[in-house]
């Protein structure tokens, strides 16, 4: 790759991105077509160095070169625009007036639900109007965190579970308080970022991952606003045992491949925030068939102590009562049938299997357990019913079958 081309791209990113009045541009992502093949190319400046990543796994291929030529070409134009192309604002930035407006809209929603009561909120036009007001004053498109809050609140109001709905509203109250304060703490900045994404001018402290092998064990569609939902994918790091989520809003792109799959991650960014942490896979190779040694590794790193799992869940929902949706990979010591199935560890700690959700995966798992099939490990999203920790299963493995998706 031409050194001159890289230097021209760096000069453009420094000259135009760094002094943008709307904020600091640190990464550009674009779809590049070369000979009818489309790849996603990401250009970013890290400590003054240009990093180039393409979804085909190359960092100096034809798609990367085309992206660099496109960016470097701006240097030849005084107006920094392509001829005949109008500037389009893809997302409304959340400046102080909009922050105050969103905080007020959240307060109005809290008041509307409190006045009518959670048990009657499902039929209340005032609550529907307050929710629409929150969406109206939010950045566009609706940030995933805020959209997930709206989806979860609607679900819990419809299900008639006041404890969960109250917890979700508590998280919204914390966000409203954080938006009202002019002098913000590190914790409040992180809360706002988890809900709304980075503010203009802020620099998220992203963790970079290099050369990791991960297995995607499950994925699901989650409710958001009435106009958008999110596909969430759960990736397990075979080295560290950490679980990450890759969120793909409807009509957006994400890493390629079916579930299950093994991914060799060359480069990824991990955002601070609620569990499981969100990951952006930038450079990767996909292996559609997961090898036997990787399945065995998953069994090795699966949690066997449920006491530790309970404490992890408690901390997660205390910090992010609305957005934390912990996911776990567990290997039960045994499973008992006691007014529903209960997973137990070797010390007798209990983990109930979710019975209130009527999703197909939960019902399928119950059918298999009724047939006498016991899992060597299984994976699912954690939740609680009262003071009881529960898991909603998505996938499992038995002694003679590496993986079954529910």
Domains of the chain, residue spans: 3-76, 96-196, 207-296, 302-405
Task: For domain 302-405, give the fold.
Answer: OB fold (Dihydrolipoamide Acetyltransferase, E2P) (2.40.50)
* Average of per-residue pLDDT values in the chain: 82
* Mean pLDDT within 11-19: 57
Kindly report the number of other CB atoms within 10 A of residue 41's CB atom.
26
Q: Is the pLDDT of residue 27 over 50?
A: yes
- CB-based contact 393:363 (threshold 8 Å): no
Separation between Cα atoms, residue 297 and residue 267, nearest integer Å: 22
Residue with tokens 């107006």: 79
Which pLDDT does position 331 carry in this prediction? 94
Q: How confident is the model at residue 365 (pLDDT cuts 50, 70, 90)?
A: confident
Residue with tokens 């109001």: 157
Q: Is the pLDDT of residue 159 over 70?
A: yes
Residue with tokens 């040694």: 293
Separation between Cα atoms, residue 392 and residue 328, nearest integer Å: 10
Kindly report the number of other CB atoms within 10 A of residue 278's CB atom.
18
Which pLDDT does position 14 carry in this prediction? 62
Return the minimum-mean-pLDDT range out of 195-199, 315-319, 341-345, 381-385.
195-199
Q: Which of 98, 105, 100, 94 is nearest to 131 (CA)?
A: 105
Tokens found for residue 30: 């674009």
Q: How confident is the model at residue 35 (pLDDT cuts 50, 70, 90)?
A: confident
Which pLDDT does position 20 carry in this prediction? 46
Distance of CA 106 to CAs 132, 279, 320, Å? 11, 28, 16
Tokens found for residue 176: 């409203």
Tokens found for residue 165: 């709905």
* Mean pLDDT within 167-189: 89
Which pLDDT does position 82 carry in this prediction? 33
Count of all residues that appear for the chain in the document: 406
Q: Which of 82, 100, 61, 74 is nearest to 13 (CA)?
A: 74
Q: Which of 202, 134, 126, 124 is nearest to 168 (CA)?
A: 134
Residues with Cβ < 8 Å from 109, sequence gap 6 or more? 127, 130, 131, 133, 134, 172
Residues with Cβ < 8 Å from 233, sequence gap 6 or more? 216, 218, 219, 245, 246, 247, 248, 254, 255, 259
In the chain, what is the straight-line distance between the N-terminal and C-terminal CA atoms, in Å? 46
Tokens found for residue 266: 């060359």
Predicted TM-score (pTM) of the model is 0.75
Which pLDDT does position 203 carry in this prediction? 62
Residues with Cβ < 8 Å from 150, sequence gap 6 or more? 131, 134, 135, 142, 224, 225
Phi, psi of 393 (to 5 degrees): -75, 145
* Mean pLDDT within 272-297: 93
Which pLDDT does position 374 carry in this prediction? 86
* Mean pLDDT within 173-196: 88
């Amino acid at each position: 790759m031409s050194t001159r081309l890289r230097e021209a791209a760096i000069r453009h990113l420094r000259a135009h991105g760094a002094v943008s009045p709307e904020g600091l541009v640190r990464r550009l992502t674009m779809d590049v077509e070369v000979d009818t093949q489309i790849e996603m190319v990401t250009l970013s400046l890290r400590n003054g160095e240009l990093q180039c990543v393409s979804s085909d796994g190359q960092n100096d291929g034809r798609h990367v070169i085309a992206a660099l030529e496109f960016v470097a070409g701006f240097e030849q134009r005084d107006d920094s625009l392509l001829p005949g192309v109008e500037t389009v604002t893809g997302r409304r930035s959340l400046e102080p007036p909009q922050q105050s407006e969103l905080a007020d809209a959240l307060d109005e929603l809290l008041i509307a639900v409190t006045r009518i009561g959670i048990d009657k909120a499902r039929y209340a036009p005032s609550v529907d109007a307050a929710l629409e007001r929150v969406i109206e004053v939010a950045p566009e498109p609706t940030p995933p965190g805020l959209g997930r809050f709206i989806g979860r609140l609607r679900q819990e109001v419809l299900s008639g579970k006041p404890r969960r709905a109250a917890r979700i509203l508590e998280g919204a109250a914390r966000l409203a308080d954080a938006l009202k304060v002019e002098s913000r703490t590190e914790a409040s900045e992180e809360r706002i970022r988890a809900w709304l994404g980075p503010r203009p001018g802020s620099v998220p402290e992203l963790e970079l991952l290099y050369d990791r092998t991960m297995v995607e064990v499950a994925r699901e569609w989650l409710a958001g606003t009435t106009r958008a939902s999110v596909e969430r994918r759960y990736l397990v790091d075979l080295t560290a045992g950490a679980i990450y989520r890759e969120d793909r809003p409807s009509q957006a792109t994400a890493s390629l491949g079916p579930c299950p799959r093994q991914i060799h991650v060359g480069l990824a960014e991990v955002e601070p925030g609620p569990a499981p942490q969100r990951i952006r896979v930038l450079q990767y190779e996909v292996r559609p068939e997961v090898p036997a040694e990787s399945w065995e590794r998953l069994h090795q790193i699966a949690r066997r102590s449920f006491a530790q799992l309970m404490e992890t869940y408690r901390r997660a929902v205390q910090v992010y009562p609305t957005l934390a949706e912990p996911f776990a990979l567990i290997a039960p010591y045994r499973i008992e049938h006691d007014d529903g199935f209960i997973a137990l560890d070797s010390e007798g700690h209990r983990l109930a299997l979710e019975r209130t959700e009527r999703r197909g995966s939960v019902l399928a798992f119950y059918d298999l357990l009724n047939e006498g099939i016991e899992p060597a490990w299984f994976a699912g999203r954690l939740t609680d019913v009262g003071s009881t920790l529960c898991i909603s299963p998505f996938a499992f493995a038995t002694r003679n079958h590496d993986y079954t998706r529910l």
